[in-house]
Structure 1
C-alpha cells in the first residue's frame, strides 16, 4: 500500500547569481519573502538549486518510488543522481516524477527552480509578486508498481462525479485510471457518511488501465454551502489477485447549481448570491511559502466574515486550501494564471492549456469548486484573433475535461461589452473600480444596470472591486484616493448595498480578502503592497470594511464601532458609526445614554459633540454584545493620519468638491467637455501624455489623444500619476475649477 514520506526538511539552497553562498533551508521556501514585498520592482528573479541527499528507502521488488512536487515557481527541472528526469512549466500545480529507474543506495536530488521572465510560461505580467521557490510540500511516494495513476497531470487517478437524482436519490460515477495494472484487477469504492458508516459501495474491473462504474445511493445529504458543507468519504482501493495493492480516501459532496442571468446563483434549487473575496496566497514575512496553519487562519477569517465564496487569484492554490473550502462550504472560483498579457506564440498557448488540464484533473473531486476561470484581464494589451482562438480552445477543453462545472472570465473594465469574450464562457464577470481608479462609486450602479438591460441573457458578476486603505490613515470627510480606512469603508458600504439590491449579479468578489505583495507598487504609504485587502498583510488587523461584510453576511450577533483608530478628531461634532447585524444599537458617551438607533443597511449613526477625551460604548440587544473605543478632541489635524506623498484629497480642509461646479475629482473627460476648463487642465494633460509617451508625428502632444480609460480617470488620479503639479498648484487648480460650472 502507498506511503507518503514528507521530505520538507534539510535542503541546501543556492542561487545561480555568481555567488558561492549555500544556505540550509526547509521547504516550503521562497527566495523573495523580503525583496518581493518591499517595493522597487527589483526583487531577484533567476535560477536557484535545491539539493537534498537521502538513503534509499526500503522497497519491495514490486514497488516504486515517486517524487511529488506541489509547487515550484515558475519552471523547474528534476535532476536525480546526475540524470535529468523531468521539466515542468508552471508554478502553481503538482507534478510527479518516477525516481525508481535512477534510484541508488545513496541519492542526490536536485530541483532547479527558475522564476525569471520568459516568453512561454504564464504569468509574465501582473500586479502581484512572482515569488520564486520550492514553496509547497515535497514528498516521496512509495507505491506498488501497479497503482492509481500518479503521472497523469498530477492528478490522483480517480475522478468521482456525485449526481443528485430525484426523491433524495443520488449516484456516484467512478472513473479510475491506473498505471501498470493488469486487466482483471479490481477497483472498489466504499462510501462513508460523516459518522463513518458505510452507506454505499461498488466495484469495477480494470481494462487497459481504466475502470468505470456507477454507485447508487439513497437518502443523500446535500453539500449546502456554509450552512451545511456535508462531505462523504470515498475509500477507493485497487486489488490484484485478491490482494489490496493501492488505496486512497477522497471526500465528495452532492450539490446542484445554476448561474441564471435573472435569478443569479442558484445552489440546490434556491437563490444563493455569492458574496466573498478574492485571495492571494502570500503573507508578510513569509511570502507564498505558507504552512497549513497560515491557510487555516485565512479560512477562519473569511468564515468569520461570513463569506460565501472565494476567488482563487490568479492561479491554482494549494490542495490544503481547497480542502478547507470543502470543509467550510465556501464556493470556489479556480483559475489559471493566464493574465494581463497574451503572449502570441504556440508554446505560450499550449502552456495555458497545460495549466488548465493540470488544474481540472488535480481538483476535479473538490465539491467547493464550481467554476473554472479561463483568464483575468487578458485584453489589457488588446484583442487579437490568436487570443480569441486560444480562449475558445480553453473553454472547450474545460468542458471536455469537466462537463459538470461552468467556465468564467474576469474582464478588464475597458473591455467593450460587445466583445465576443463576454459571451464565450458560461458566465462572465468584470473587474470594475469605479470610485477608486476612475469615476464615482455610484457609477458602478449604472454600469451594471446598463449591462443587465442590454444583455438580459448574460449572467454578470463583479470579479474585482476595491479601494486601497492603510488603517493608519483617517479623515473626518474621507474621499477617493486618500488611502484612509474610512473611505474604504464607505466604498464597501455602497458596493454591498448595490449588489444585494441586484440578485441577478451572480457573484461579487472583493479585491482583496488580504493585502498582498506587488513589488512594483509604491503608494498608500507602504511600498511593495496592494492595500485593498479587508485584512492586513500580516493578518493582524481587520479593517473597518471587513465588518460591514460581517454585518451583512454573518449570523452571530455583533456590533462594531468604526474609526477606532481615528482617535484625534479636530471637528467639534463627529460621527460615530456602528456596523451590526442586530436590528438596533444603543450608544453611550462617557456613560451617558445617547439614544438607540435602528440599523439602516446594517449601519447605525450618531452625531456626537466632543470637547475632550471621551469613552464611547455601543451595545446591541444585550450587554454582552458591545464594543468600545476612546476618542479625543484636538485643535489641529493629526498629521499621522495623512498618507505621505500619496493623498490629494486630505490637502483640502473644506472639501474638494463644490456642488454644481467642477473639481479635480471630476473625470478628465468631463472637465475637457467645458471649453473654459480645457485650458486650465492643459498642464495636467501634458504631464500625463509625457508619462505615457504619446506624441503626434511632429513630436507635439495631441490634447485629445487620450484613450478611453484615461478619459474616465478623475483629474486627481492623473495628477498623482503624472506628478505634473506641486501640492500648492493642485490646490490652486481646484480653486479655479470650483469657479467653473459643470
Structure 2
C-alpha cells in the first residue's frame, strides 16, 4: 500500500548488510495529551484548552464508569504525544505496540494512518519504520468505545471502559527478527510433553527477513540459570526443533510453580541479531468426569475465584503493581485457579499467574448476546485468535473459554454454528489445551450447547437471585447423574455483600455481610464434598464497576466480591475460603464491623483452618471448640460499654475485636429497599391465550419493541418488566437489575431459549407484557 507515509505494509525489503541492532523496548507512559473534544483531521502536539496531560495507561471512565446511572461517556477521544528518536540505524525496523485500546483505535504518525484495530482486549502492533521522520515525530491515537454491532462485548454486567488502558511501547529490532506482525504474537512458541520423566519441548519460531548463514539458537536454563538443553538450526521463515530435558522439574501449580527459561536467539557471524526469553512450565493434565482434575497425575481440585481488571477510582488502567497485588491477595486466600473474566487480560497478569502457579481460564468477551451481524462473528474469531496467539506461552493457562452466558440473548442455529466454529478455531490454533464455556443458569441440562466444548461450567446463583442455597447441590448432583461422562464445574456463584449492613438473622436479599458469609460457608462445604467438580470459581474476587447497577444502595458497582473494589477491606466471606483452602495457619473473628449490639448475649463466629479454637471474653476463657473451618460460640455475654473478644488457636495464633453494647439496634445496619422484587406469580390469573397477538403497536405508548433502558425509567413500566421477568425465570428480578440489559429491546430479554429458560406459552405471555406496557403513554 503506497501512501505519503511510505510502503507501510511491505515496509522496506531491507538487505541484511550493515549494522546489527539488538531489540530495544521503550515504554511510552509520560508526555501524553488527552481530549474528549472533537478534532478535525489529526491533532498536533499543542497543549491548550480542552487538552489535559495524562499518563498511559489511562481510561476516561475511571470515575463515571463506577458512579451509577448507566451514563458513562462512550465516544471518541484523542491521545497525542511526541516521539523523539535517535538517528535511525540502517537495517532496523521500528514498531509501536498497544497492549490494549478500548474499544476501537486508529493510529497516526505525523498525520499518516499507520494502523487501526477493533477489540478492547487484545494487543496490536504497527510497523512505523517508513513513517518515521528524523528527530521529532507526532503520534496521535484516536480511541473510541462507542457501542458497535461488530465488536464484542455487546452487552454485559460490567463497565466497558474506554482508553489507552494498557502500556504503549516502542520496539526497535533488526530487519531480521522474530516475527512481530502475526496478531501481535511473540514470534516463538513453546509447548511440551512428558514421557517417563523426560520433557520434550517443541519450540517453533517464525523469523522475518533471514539471510543465508543466519541461525536460530535455543537454550533452556533452569531456575538456577544452569543450561539443561540447547539446539541450533538454520534460520528460515519457520523453524521447529525439539529439545529434551531428562528428569524434568514439573510445574505443579501453586504447590511448586517451577519455570524453565527458554531463550531463542537469531545469530549471524556469532553475534545476536534478535533474542527473546520465554518462561515455560512443564506440565501434563487431564479431566476425569468421575474424579475431577489431575495435574501431573495428582488429583488437584481447582478451587478459586474470578477476576475483573478494574479498581476503584482507576477503572481498568492498572499498573504492574496492581496486577501483582491482586494475585497476591488470591494467593493469600488459598485459591489455586483464576477465571479471568470476561475477556483477554493483561500479559503482565498472566505472567504473574505463571510464577505463582495459578491454573487460569482465559476467555473472550462473547457474552450475553450474539449479534447476528456477520462482522460481529468475524470479530469473535479475531479476538479468539489474538487471545491464543498472544497468550500461548503461559504455563498457567489450561483452558480457552469461548463464551459466557451467551444464551441470555436467546438461542438459534446461527449461535450454535458460531460456537462450534469458535471451538474448532481454538483447537486448530492450540491442540494442547481444552476448550470450555460458561452457561447461564437457565440453560437446559440436555441442551446441545453442553456438548460443544471439551469441558463445561455453569453460572448458578441459587440462594441469591432465586431458589435456596440448597438448590446448588441438588442441581449439581442431578446434572452429574444425567451426564456422568462430562467434566463440569461452577464458573460463577456468589451473592452481594455490603460491609455496611449487618444482622443476627441473615436472609437472602438483605445485602448483609453476614448473609454473604453464610452463603459461602454453605458453598465451600458442598464444593469440598464434590472433588469431581473440575473447577469452581467464586464470583467475584473483588467488587467491580458496572455503571448500570444500583444494588443495596450502592450505585455503579457489583458487590459480590470477597474483597472491596479498592482492595482495602477483606469481607468475612474471604476468610471462609481462606479457612478451607489456605495451608497457612489462620484465624478470624467474623462480624467485626457489626460492632454495636443491642442484646445481652451474642453469637460469635470464628473462621479457622485449625482443629480447635478457644474464645475469651475480657480476658476470661469462655470456651473451646473443635470444628471444621467454622466455630460458633453461642450465648457470649456482653458487658456494659465495650467487651473485648479474643479467639486463639494453634501456636500463638489469635484474633481479637470489641463489641459495644447499645440500647437500641443501630438503624444503618439494615438496608431498606426502596423497590420491591418482582413477583413470581404474575401470570397465574391471566389467560394468556386470550390476549391475542402483538401485530398492532401504538408508538406513542410503551411496548416490547422499546429499549429496556428507556422502559425502566418509568416506574409503572419498570414494575411490569420486573414482574414478567421474575415470573418467567423463577428468580426475583428487580427493575434496577434490568439496567444491565438496557441496550436491547424488551422482546429480546424474553427470547426463546434465553435467560428466562424454556418458558411455557411464551408468545402469549409476551403479548400480555406488551398489552400492559401499551397502557402507559410515553
Can you list the C-alpha shifts for 1:487-529, whole angstroms capped at 9, x where unaligned?
0000100011111101111111011000000000011221101
Aligned pairs for 1:87-236 (under 5 A) are 87-105=116-134, 106-166=136-196, 168-182=197-211, 184-207=213-236, 209-236=237-264
Aligned partners of 2:66 and 2:729: how far apart in 1?
32
* Alpha-carbon offset, residue 646 of structure 1: 5.7
In structure 2, the partner of 1:539 is: 567
Range moving further from structure 2, 242-251 or 603-612: 603-612
| Mapping of residues 98-497 of structure 1, within 5 Å | 98-105=127-134, 106-166=136-196, 168-182=197-211, 184-207=213-236, 209-497=237-525
Alignment match, 2:597: 569
Whether the 8 Å contact between 1:585 and 1:604 is mirrored in structure 2 is no
Residues 461-610 of structure 1 aligned to structure 2 (within 5 Å): 461-610=489-638
Deviations 1:354-399 (A, max 9, x none): 1111110111110000000001111101111111111111101111
Shift of 1:20: 5.3
The DSSP-based 3-state class of the residue aligned with 1:492 is: helix
Counterpart Cα distance in 2 of 1:189 and 1:195: 17
Q: 2:34 aligned to 5, 9, 13, which one?
A: 13
Report the Cα offset of residue 418 of structure 1: 1.9
- Structure 2 distance, partners of 1:117, 1:227, is 43
* Paired position in structure 1 for 2:731: 713
Q: CA deviation at 1:17?
A: 4.8
Query: In angstroms, what is the RMSD of aligned CA positions?
Result: 2.6
Offset of residue 57 of structure 1 = 2.7
Paired with 2:664 and 2:675, the residues of 1 have a C-alpha distance of: 18
Moved more, 628-637 or 41-50: 628-637
Shift of 1:710: 3.7
Q: Deviations over 1:674-695 (max 9, x none)?
A: 99xxxxxxxxxxxx9999889x
What is the distance in 2 between the residues matched to 1:444 and 1:430?
11
In the TM superposition, what are the counterparts of 1:616-635 in structure 2 within 5 Å? 616-622=645-651, 624-635=652-663
| 1:640 CA displacement | 1.3
After TM superposition, the score normalised by the length of structure 1 is: 0.88
- Give the corresponding residue for 2:680: 668
Unaligned residue ranges in structure 1 (runs of 5+): 649-663, 676-687, 724-742
Distance 1:6 1:204 in 2: 33
Q: CA deviation at 1:704?
A: 14
Q: CA deviation at 1:53?
A: 1.2
Write the distance in 2 (CA, Å) between the matches of 1:376 and 1:291: 27
Q: Secondary structure at the match of 2:193?
A: strand
Q: How many correspondences in the alignment?
A: 685
Distance 1:436 1:215 in 2: 52
Indicate which of 18, 22, 31 corresponds to 2:51. 22
Give me the whole-angstrom Cα distance separating, in 2, the residues matched to 1:210 and 1:127.
42
CA contact (8 A) 1:482 1:646 kept: no
TM-aligned CA distance change 1:644 to 1:181, over 3 Å = farther
Q: What is the distance in 2 between the residues matched to 1:552 and 1:627?
A: 18
Secondary structure of the structure 2 residue equivalent to 1:375 = strand
Task: State whether residues 305 and 538 of structure 2, in contact with CA within 8 Å, keep that contact through their aligned partners in structure 1.
Answer: yes
Contact 1:552 / 1:602 at 8 angstroms: preserved in 2? no
Q: Distance in 2 between matches of 1:121 and 1:542?
A: 35
8 Å contact 2:76–2:146 — kept in the other structure?
yes
Secondary structure in 1 aligned to 2:615? strand
Q: State the SS of the aligned residue for 2:314.
A: coil
| Long gaps (5+) in structure 2 | 1-21, 40-47, 687-702, 740-778
- Give CA-to-partner distance per residue, 1:216-256, whole Å, 9 cap, x none: 11110000011100000011101234432000111000111
> 2:158 touches 2:547 (CA, 8 Å); kept in 1?
yes
Separation in structure 1 between the aligned mates of residue 234 and residue 736 of structure 2, nearest angstrom: 67
Q: Greater shift after overlay, 255-264 or 222-231?
A: 255-264
Change (3 A) 1:703 1:618: closer
Distance in 2 between the 1:95 and 1:513 partners? 29
Cα 1:538–1:459 shift into 2, 3 Å: same
Aligned to 1:680: none
Equivalent residue number for residue 654 of structure 1 = none
Give CA-to-partner distance per residue, 1:640-677, whole Å, 9 cap, x none: 112243697xxxxxxxxxxxxxxx99x836x98899xx
Name the CA shift for 1:708/1:40 in 2 (closer, same or farther; >3 Å): closer
Q: Note the C-alpha offset of 1:707.
A: 6.2
Cα pair 2:60 2:162 within 8 Å, conserved? yes
SS in 2 for 1:505: coil
CA distance in 2, matches of 1:712, 1:646: 22
Distance 1:131 1:703 in 2: 28
* Residues in 2 aligned to 1:286 and 1:703: alpha-carbon distance in whole angstroms: 34
Deviation at 1:203, TM superposition (A): 2.1
Structure 1 Cα separation of the partners of residues 582 and 631 of structure 2: 14
Is 1:497–1:601's contact at 8 Å kept on the other side of the alignment?
no
